[in-house]
Chains A and B, each alone.
Chain A
Amino acid sequence: GAGVSQSPRYKVAKRGQDVALRCDPISGHVSLFWYQQALGQGPEFLTYFQNEAQLDKSGLPSDRFFAERPEGSVSTLKIQRTQQEDSAVYLCASSAMRTWDGGVKLFFGSGTQLSVL
């Protein structure tokens, strides 16, 4: 597709449910990122993939959060046993370069808005 696609656009979950959020990056983009954006805040880094390798998962808030990119393209962010504090917009971004040198563009999707009741 022309841009980064995320689905679903909105997700409502009951506390304790598991959710899976999908990201389709721009075709051919090597690097993929997940960010979490709480209401009224800027995005916060969660994790980074280069192809299928998860090179940095330091931003994942707990072991309930898990991300994968098994074939180096589509990625899934999974949240187990959701809690109310997980409510946020989850953003996916991709870029073409193997290394991020500060001069490369990140292309963001529109995000998935997760509400945990």
Chain B
Amino acid sequence: GDSVTQMEGPVTLSEEAFLTINCTYTATGYPSLFWYVQYPGEGLQLLLKATKADDKGSNKGFEATYRKETTSFHLEKGSVQVSDSAVYFCALSDLANDYKLSFGAGTTVTVRA
């Protein structure tokens, strides 16, 4: 079945450092791809998405590009802040039942001042 593999954490960075979290997927077609973020004590929330190849999703300084040739959707931010400390989940939507999301295991990111 469809699945997502994302970079294991935890990741610890200093403020203003560059962040990248790798995500690759396995699917029989071209699913929609997502990054969700979970801040401490809060529910998961959508960070960004891309619905077709070469699309770039962006939000709050984060970006990810849907790469069909490498089946990847890596998350990047050029200059992180302490407030970016959270758990980040890569996900895809099932092609047959597109309301169903498959998530990666999550990457914990801690940004130090």
Contacts and interface: CB of A to CB of B under 8 A. Distances in A.
A42 B98 CA distance: 18
A32 B91 CA distance: 18
Contact of A4 (B41, B43, B103, B105): B43
A3 B4 CA distance: 27
Given A42-B106, A102-B51, A103-B49, A56 B97 contact: yes
Contacts of B93: 100, 102
B101 interface: yes
Nearest to B33: A102
B56 to A, nearest CB: 15
Q: Is the interface of A mostly helix, strand, loop or mixed?
A: loop
Contact-size category for B: 20 to 34
A106 B46 contact: yes
Contact of B100 (A42, A48, A111): A48
Interface in B75-97: 89, 91, 93, 97
Contacts of B36: 108
Contacts, number: 63
Interface string A38-80: 0011111100100000001001000000000000000000000
A56 B105 contact: no
Contacts of A56: 97, 99-100
Given A48-B100, A100-B98, A110 B42 contact: yes
A31 to B, nearest CB: 7
Interface string A78-117: 0000000000000101000001111101111111000000
